[in-house]
Amino acid sequence: MKTINDINFKDKKALVRVDFNVPLNDDFEVTDTTRIHAAKDTIIKILEDEGSVILMSHLGRPKGNQEEFSLKHIVAAATDILGVQVKFVEDCIGDAAQQAAANLQPCEVLLLENLRFYSEETAGDAAFAKALSQLGNVYVNDAFGTAHRAHASTAIIAQYFDEKCFGHLMTREIESLNKVLETPDKPVVAILGGAKVSSKITVIENILDKVDDLIIAGGMAYTFIKAQGGKIGDSLCEDDKMELALEILEKAKSKNTNIHLPVDAITADAFSEHATIDNAAIDAIPNGWMGLDIGEKSRSQFHTVLMQAKTILWNGAAGVFELEPFSHGTISLGKSVAASTAAGAFSLVGGGDSVAAVKQFGFDDQVSYVSTGGGAMLEMLEGKTLPGIAAILD
Ligand code: 3PG
Ligand code: MG
């Protein structure tokens, strides 16, 4: 397979699918530019070859052509980050797009309007994909965050190109995950957090074989504790998943994977930062109280496990970190992952709220790799083949 470094883009028009689905504030300013920064080296490589770059992305989930979802809102941020004036065209197919692409000179960058203004994008419509493909002569997919979608611009389009490759970001994401799940230095420790067992079942099943230690933090721990006969008060629990929780514990035993559950909790008498707060053993939480974070003893036990790790995978928060009183367990995990990384471990943070947490608490520079993918990373952890990746490999 060709990598982006194997291709000389001189005088070529590269159609690059990026994931510029970034958050905007009420003034339509980009509030988190991570995904734009992450695509920069791919774009610069093409420009340095004296090729031209046609960027295509979605933004949000618009219903038809809704101005608030226009990618024009990100032109200023992209221009600033790339250090090149980004041109913009108010459509992604049709005459205007074709003209703009045809007029594009070497070393110039053009951004197309939101792909999802056409329902054909998410439908994976072949005619729409073909129309997009006519704008360029090389296809580069660097949209890791959208690689789990079988959409026109992420998957269907690839068949219309002889020359296609992943961008640098896509390659980094795939290599980082392989470093954790396929060729890791041992011991491998995974931290799984988040509220629900049901949303992480497939991830747990896929990684049980691959890790030495599995730390289960977050709301889903309570289903495991209750299943083992513990009293969890009013903590979150999926009663219909208790049997499954016991099966997972059994399976882990047979695979010699150590599962580490919290031993204590920060409890509250309401789901609020103004609640009365207390501590309890994880299996002795009184009625009327709920566990909303891991306690001190759990933090220190998890720290010990993490300091022995050579490879760490972190997905999901330890508690309700959005509320200050219940953020300290997640912050403590972040500190432990950072300390272990400083001592030589490779650490990957990916999928959903753990990425938000490491950014919010400033650990993103202290771990080895922070994924740009939420759902995409989760599906990779589940062992699925992502359509956006498969389309390039085909
Ligand atoms: C994301 O941020 O999750 C990706 O950009 C994909 O967006 P989607 O979930 O709307 O498909
Ligand atoms: Mg999503």
Beta-bridged to residue 278, according to DSSP, are: 267
Q: Please give the average per-residue pLDDT across 193-215, as a whole number.
A: 92
* Distance in Å, CA 121 to ligand 1 centroid: 13
Contacts of 114 (CB under 8 A, 6+ apart): 57, 58, 59, 60, 62, 69, 70, 71, 92
The pLDDT score that the predictor gives to residue 199 is 87
Is the CB–ligand 1 distance for residue 379 below 6 Å? no
Residues with CB in 5 Å of ion ligand 2: 375
Beta-bridged to residue 291, according to DSSP, are: 267
The pLDDT score that the predictor gives to residue 195 is 86
The pLDDT score that the predictor gives to residue 214 is 98
- Taking the CA of residue 60 as reference, the ligand 1 atom at the shortest distance is 10
| More confident call, 352 vs 297 | 297
Neighbour tally for 270: CB within 10 Å: 13
* Distance in Å, CA 230 to ligand 1 centroid: 38
The pLDDT score that the predictor gives to residue 237 is 95
Q: Which residues does the annotation mark as catalytic? A: 35, 196, 352, 375
Q: Which amino acid is at 177?
A: L
* Strands 231-232 and 258-260, sheet pairing: unpaired
Which residue from 167, 175, 241, 155 is spatially nearest to 202, judged by alpha carbons? 241
- Ligand 1, pocket-test mutation among 115, 146, 378, most atoms within 8 A of CB: 146
Is the CB–ligand 1 distance for residue 153 below 6 Å? no
Q: What is the pTM of this model?
A: 0.94
Is the CB–ligand 1 distance for residue 120 below 6 Å? no
- Four-CA torsion 311, 314, 315, 321, nearest 10 degrees: 170
- Ligand 1, pocket-test mutation among 35, 149, 173, most atoms within 8 A of CB: 149
Residue 377 buriedness (CB in 10 A; 0-12 / 13-18 / 19+) = buried
The pLDDT score that the predictor gives to residue 173 is 97
Q: Please give the average per-residue pLDDT across 331-355, as a whole number.
A: 94
Does the CA dihedral 62-64-69-72 come out positive or negative?
positive
Beta-bridged to residue 17, according to DSSP, are: 56, 141
The pLDDT score that the predictor gives to residue 286 is 98
Q: Does residue 2 carry a pLDDT above 90?
A: no
The gap from C-alpha 15 to its chain's centroid, in whole angstroms, comes to 23
Q: Please give the average per-residue pLDDT across 43-50, as a whole number.
A: 98
Which residue from 353, 351, 358 is spatially nearest to 331, judged by alpha carbons? 358
| Residue 356: pLDDT band with limits 50, 70, 90 | confident
- Four-CA torsion 275, 277, 282, 285, nearest 10 degrees: -70
The pLDDT score that the predictor gives to residue 201 is 87
The pLDDT score that the predictor gives to residue 178 is 94
To the nearest whole number, what is the mean pLDDT of the chain? 96
The pLDDT score that the predictor gives to residue 394 is 83
User: Percent of the chain scored above 90 by pLDDT?
Assistant: 95
The pLDDT score that the predictor gives to residue 351 is 78
Q: Does residue 318 carry a pLDDT above 90?
A: yes
Q: Please give the average per-residue pLDDT across 107-131, as a whole number.
A: 98
| Residue 55: pLDDT band with limits 50, 70, 90 | very high
Closest ligand (CA of 23)? 1
Is the CB–ligand 1 distance for residue 253 below 6 Å? no
